[in-house]
Structure 1
């Protein structure tokens, strides 16, 4: 047997997925996301301080006064000025959370881990208390060092915490749980910080500051005619992009190149044009700003276009709309750190390639005399197309920009789609994990099954809970499907169970157990239950005159609904509004939700049954109180749990089902067996005295129109012999 080799694209997708799901990349994404509110405020401050035109600058100063720059500077210092520190804290916190999840218990307090890592950062990276301190805290200059320290320091601290000899036993720590949580890992924290102190001393001994100064001196060496070399242009932009990819502000790190090559070339071109001559240099500061950094480093305006073009998920389009305004003015920090692009393996290739291709397009247009050289000063916040015209003095500059944007979007688009696929896979994995939790009987100490979960599951639950609140109020997302219930003795479909469905606009179908658990967590289970009941009755009313009058709709009730003193009135009001007979509705209660029958719940059921509404006990046979319920509850139907549908000869299930069927006949109760999937199961269950069934052997849950057709065809076959 031969296996077809994976295509290069699939291999790339697989490799990107492995990196993307690694704990360090997860921690980086969440750490950077923590700084996103700061970045958005900083983007606005940058635009206010650096408007595209002198006229806008004048208007802003007239509107806000001369203190505008000081206010913007303060905002920048308090946002992206401390962005590296915020990302460092978030990275360490998430890394500790992931470590605890893998260990299966709370090994380390994540906040303590973050505090230790912050201390390591200031011990190693931050210089003395002088003007350069803030640079090491900013996103542009300090992020890479912060993430390196967080990775090394966090890993070392977590490994030391696993050594039992370095942990202070909890009974020796403190009666205060929080204080004890901290004291337990004090030895590991001290060793971690001490290690970075030693590393700092070693770096000083090795002359690390002198090495960095020598590197800057090398960059500052004079070059002749290098500003016309294509190799220089590509090399400079490649280095700048690589630095940005690791969270280092590329143009700032290469400021010596700007000072000794790009700025002189820019001034020489401007002087030549002013004197009536021809500009000499191709690669100037404005060339890179106008043709290679549209939207910011990485040609991110092209990425924004690709995000808007991608239709697989809404997340990318929402991100593009959020960052559109700053990106139009070449402020791309929201994309760099919010998407993020920094240290993102999925976008690494287009982030590096796109500006290089755009440089080649602009270089070719210049060499072919299709576009003049950049010779006129423009503000770096000038939007694309306008900046191309302004920097070259020609419409051809805007045309070249437009071509570069389109080509850049084409480069980014397949990687945007790859990111969509990876995001969808992550979401489905988290949803599968949430489903297991929602279907389990375990709840947290606070009684919330999903919202108190740690990690991705907890974040997904919180996001879904917010969306669910809106979905309950709106039309369209919450709807029902119906699974027919068949009477094999007559061949007729006597009823259908209404089953909840939620079509999430981004994630698609969300499993009903998750929906119910979330609604219960946020206290909206009553509203959801009434919505389901109302939709079911509306559909039954729509079938009036089409399906037989004795066709019954079965609807599940939650425990909280049963305890609601208004349940009886609400049900009768809905029936009256839809013009339905009470006998056309059956309310199902689950045995597991009635472990201690409440007097109010039983009272509600009795009142409803006296009014004519049928009552069914769902999942019967799975609990130890089954027989007790038969005596206490006003029932019409017993639904035998699907776990008992597999009745092999002589099995325990066979004896249980036979006993339930016999007891139900004695008590004059109808029985319905759930989960029948094969003809063999049907034959054995029928031999045990069961004649009413529900399951995939007969039909999956169906849309209303399909269910109607199924019922009509089944009834036609049932009455055909009589005709």
Structure 2
């Protein structure tokens, strides 16, 4: 392979890769020191009302403190400790130097105040940090000096020897290998790159072992070592730490949620090259107590199996050094010179997969419960009244994660024209039993979770700003359906479409009128139901927009009327054609006298103002009798019909109106149409209708 590359790309073909390595892994400790200091300073500033430290200055102080602990070699800095070999010390220095700097910075007497200010706002910050920064660097310089004078070695060398001491004390064999594997995976589980932190051990012990094996094989002598770096990479760390390839396969075959299966499939691609950050941080494994046992047990078990296989002669030992990114199965053959090495890998992968399977199944059950709980909480937040600062995207934990992941899917589905559709719920005239109107309701069928409650969909759209685009799509789609029904002879019927206050922006009326014109639809056949009316103040642009739409011929209705956030004062701010009595009132109208009084007051007001009163959540005959006695004009609810697809709703309208027309002459109220089997219950599958635009 190397000869082929050199022949086609010249002798300098590895130069690009080496430069990339020098700019990343070779300076990893420097990156870590600065990044930790920057992050810790931001945390410090977040807890302060006035006192703020400059995170860049803190990063530079930590940077200098790190260099103060290095021992020069031949007048130059030792490059070894700048990379992954010095990562452990870099983490310690990054934390300790920043904590010390911020502690000193909190004493205002150490600040160098500039009277009269400065032309550049950064200058006072720099002067305030000057003394604390100098003191911090001096402390670490003193520590570095003390280490060199007393021990003759730098802190990095001392830490390295301390890390190596347990491994040297055990000696070569399975026991030391087990300790190494356990230490590496323990660091990984804590979120620390175990391979990088233990790189000195890996390089000096197991890297030296494979070189010794190569030399012995070339001389025709028995291999002196069983456990080498190549042995670990080939038989233990297949797919990365924790034998990631086995976990990826377990997720791909036994993962219950689409997300877990997808993570498993995605992880297979880098896993073939022994890279598994996708699993470590994406599943995650890091700080995931459920995965701790298989994450530790799998590599320990496979190392024991592989060790016995080599010692007993079933599989040749590793005698050729291969890079750790060499693809699985290929590296088994190359490192041992035998297909038995590849066969052992296949056996190990299968064993590791079945170790993970019970934990994946248990994780499935836990994850399903977490998702259900997160959905319940998300629905509660989404149904909160307008102006309650719900902002579901800003929440932490499972609720916020679920909301943000759903938003990504919602935006994708909207842009690609999938998942979003409309259902239509009939509205029945109390006096005649005819279908007087329908309400267009937005529905979203998620590819993984199925039907998403409408309030969650609307809340996501509102909080993200998608409500404008999705709202226009809903209006245009509803107009297209109403045009089709008009062509089929259904003339006296109003199509109601919900409108959020967030949609009432400049240009909104023109877009609605353009949609009506495009479908050749009279404006009087469409009603806009205004939700979140708490956002509509007196003489606001939103109120003027609604007035303009009313003057253009559209009907206006106030949704969820009578529960405070839709108060009577809004009736005078823009013309209203109908009010929809809040479901919380209509649900209790049979048993609660106060609700009866509220409904009676609303219906009297509607008659006086020539507005239509609509009762929502009508679910049984007792409700119908009371609401009709109290003067409600229109009923909407599951007792008549659940929300239906356009074709089913059209058939319901034709059948209902035909039955009324064939009844005996005279104003005889027609009983409610029996809802289809399985549709009894509340006015929506989630028990609420807020914002089902």
| TM-score between the two structures when normalised by the length of structure 2 | 0.72
Question: Residue 639 of structure 1: SS of its match in structure 2?
Answer: strand
2: distance between equivalents of 1:705 and 1:199?
82
Q: What is aligned with 1:357? A: 301
Q: Which residue matches 1:33?
A: none
Q: Deviations over 1:551-592 (max 9, x none)?
A: 54321124435752414532323533xxx6656533323444
Out of 369, 378, 383, the position equivalent to 2:322 is: 378
Q: Deviations over 1:290-334 (max 9, x none)?
A: 111123332223333344446545555665666655443334456
1:37 aligned partner: none
Residues 1:286 and 2:234 are matched in the alignment: no
1:471 matches 2:433: no
Considering only CA atoms, is the larger Rg found in Structure 1 or Structure 2?
2
CA displacement, residues 195-215 of structure 1 (integer Å, 9 cap, x when unaligned): 997997999699895964653
- Residue matched to 1:391: 335
Counterparts of 1:272-311 in structure 2 under 5 Å? Answer: 273-275=217-219, 279=223, 281-309=225-253, 311=255
Question: Contact 2:590–2:622 (CA<8 Å) still a contact in 1?
Answer: no
Q: Quick check: 1:262–1:284 contact (8 Å CA) kept in 2?
A: yes
CA contact (8 A) 1:120 1:149 kept: yes
Q: Confirm whether residue 84 of structure 1 aligns to residue 24 of structure 2.
A: no
Return the offset for 1:397.
Answer: 1.4
Matches within 5 A, 1:653-692: 653-676=595-618, 681-692=623-634
Q: Is the 8 A contact 2:236 2:302 kept in 1?
A: yes
Give 1:55 deviation, angstroms: 3.6
Partner of 1:23 in structure 2?
none
Of the three residues 531, 544, 549, the one matched with 1:604 is: 549
Distance 1:699 1:134 in 2: 76
Q: Does 2:156 align with 1:215?
A: no
Query: 1:110 and 1:409 mapped to 2: Cα distance?
Result: 50
Residue of structure 2 equivalent to 1:405? 349
User: Equivalences for 1:18-167 in 2 at 5 Å?
Assistant: 53-55=1-3, 58=6, 62=10, 65=13, 67-68=15-16, 70-77=18-25, 80-85=28-33, 88=36, 92=40, 127-128=69-70, 141-142=86-87, 146=91, 150=95
Give 3-state SS (helix, strand or coil) of 1:379's partner: coil
| Cα shift at 1:384 | 0.8
Moved more, 394-403 or 308-317: 308-317
- In structure 2, how many angstroms separate the alpha carbons of the residues matched to 1:318 and 1:60? 38
Using the alignment, how far apart are the partners of 2:279 and 2:194 within structure 1? 14
1:336-360 CA-to-partner distances (Å, cap 9, x unmatched) read: 4666544443433222222223223
Cα–Cα, structure 1 residues 464 and 88, in superposed 2: closer, same or farther, change >3 Å? farther
Task: Give the direction of change, closer, same or farther, for the CA distance of 1:415–1:118 in structure 2 (3 Å limit).
Answer: farther
CA contact (8 A) 1:84 1:137 kept: no
Distance of aligned partners of 1:95 and 1:684 in 2 relative to their CA distance in 1, 3 Å threshold = farther
Contact 1:568–1:607 (Cα < 8 Å) also in 2: no
More displaced stretch, 510-519 vs 299-308: 510-519
Paired residue for 1:35?
none
Q: Quick one: which of 608, 613, 617 aligns to 2:558?
A: 617
Q: Structure 2 residue aligned with 1:345, among 275, 289, 313?
A: 289
> How do residues 154-233 of structure 1 correspond to structure 2 at under 5 angstroms?
209=155, 212=159, 215=162, 218=165, 221=168, 229-233=173-177
Contact 1:303 1:409 in 2 (8 A): yes
Alpha-carbon offset, residue 193 of structure 1? 7.2
CA contact (8 A) 1:307 1:317 kept: yes
Query: Does residue 644 in structure 1 map to residue 585 in structure 2?
Result: yes
CA distance in 2, matches of 1:551, 1:144: 75
Asked if structure 1 preserves the Cα contact closer than 8 Å seen for 2:379 and 2:453, the reply is no
- CA RMSD in angstroms, aligned pairs only: 5.5
- 1:505 deviates by 4.3
- Distance in 2 between the 1:231 and 1:547 partners? 85
The answer to which of 213-222 and 238-247 deviates more is 213-222
Q: Which range moves more in the overlay, 64-73 or 495-504? A: 64-73
Which whole-Å CA distance do the structure 2 matches of 1:314 and 1:147 have between them?
40
Report if the CA contact (8 A) 1:84-1:143 is conserved.
no
Q: How does 1:511-522 map to 2 (within 5 A)?
A: 511-513=453-455, 515-516=457-458, 518-520=460-462
| Closer/same/farther in 2, CA of residues 664 and 373 from structure 1, 3 Å limit | same
Is structure 2 residue 195 aligned with structure 1 residue 253? no
Task: Work out the CA distance in 2 between the residues paired with 1:286 and 1:553.
Answer: 71
Could you list the runs of 5+ residues in structure 1 that have no partner in the other structure?
A: 1-52, 101-105
**SS of match in other structure, 2:560:** strand
SS at match of 1:566: helix
C-alpha deviation, 1:400, in angstroms: 1.5
Deviations 1:213-251 (A, max 9, x none): 65367357488xx65x54444344223333443425348
- Whole-Å Cα distance in 2 between the matches of residues 471 and 354 of structure 1? 40
CA contact (8 A) 1:374 1:392 kept: yes
The alpha carbon displacement at 1:541 in A equals: 5.8
1:488 CA displacement: 4.5
Deviation at 1:335, TM superposition (A): 5.0
Change (3 A) 1:273 1:117: closer
The total of aligned residue pairs comes to 644
Alignment correspondent of 1:5: none
* Cα 1:436/1:249, change in 2 over 3 Å: closer
What is the alpha-carbon distance in structure 1 between the residues aligned to residue 485 and residue 29 of structure 2?
65
- Asked if structure 2 preserves the Cα contact closer than 8 Å seen for 1:568 and 1:608, the reply is no
1:484 aligns with 2:426: yes
Q: Matched residues in 2 for 1:475 and 1:140: separation?
A: 51
Q: Does the CA-based 8 Å contact 1:595-1:625 persist in structure 2?
A: no
Please name the residue that 2:680 is paired with: none
Deviations 1:357-392 (A, max 9, x none): 322333344456443232233333321111111122
Q: Are the counterparts in 1 of residues 614 and 634 from structure 2 also a CA contact under 8 Å?
A: yes
Alignment check: 8 A CA contact 1:671 1:692 kept: yes
Maintained 8 Å contact 2:252/2:260:
yes
C-alpha contact (below 8 Å) 2:38/2:59 kept by paired residues: no
Could you tell me which residue of structure 1 aligns to residue 514 of structure 2?
570
**Shift in Å, 1:285:** 3.1
1:80, 1:139 within 8 Å by CA — same for their partners in 2? yes
**C-alpha separation between the residues in 2 aligned to 1:480 and 1:556?**
12
Kept after mapping to 2: 8 A contact 1:219/1:257: no
